[in-house]
Amino acid sequence: MHEASIAESIVRSVLRAAAEAKAEKVESVTLEFGEWSAFEPAQVEFWLKVGFENTPAAAAALEIRTVPGRIRCRACGAEGACPQNGSGVTGPFVGPVLECPSCGGSDVEIISGREAVVKSIRVVK
């Protein structure tokens, strides 16, 4: 249900921006979610449509983009995607392996992939 709460926050932000711009209606909203953000885009879209009902954003086109997860190695400085943990691995966690794709080190920082951003709002005045 965290999709409902993030959608509620997005609805408030979009409607506030539209009011500040003295917009007649919201034409489109573009969102970016990192692949590791744990948000299911279809669920977010569902809750956004519910939240936008009977508002200036009711007919807004929604675009949801996925931002790939990337890491930077503190040891060697390499940047890149993480391999996925999944083939032959048992247990509850299947996701990125946080190790350097270059040197195999585990001292890495996530530089993208966890974001949840309202990238743009297009309004009609």
Q: Residue 35 belongs to a domain with what CATH number?
A: 3.30.2320.50
Cα 106 off chain centre by: 25
Helix 2-20 and helix 41-52, axial crossing angle in degrees, nearest 10 = 50
pLDDT, averaged across the chain = 88
Show the domain range for 35. 2-68+112-124
> Quick check: is 24 in a domain?
yes
- Please give the residue that has the higher pLDDT: either 92 or 45: 45
Structural domains counted in the chain: 1
Q: Please tell me the least confidently modeled range out of 5-19, 42-56, 85-99.
A: 85-99
- State residue 95's pLDDT score: 58
Express as a percent the part of the chain with pLDDT over 70: 88
Number of C-beta neighbours around residue 98 at 10 A: 16
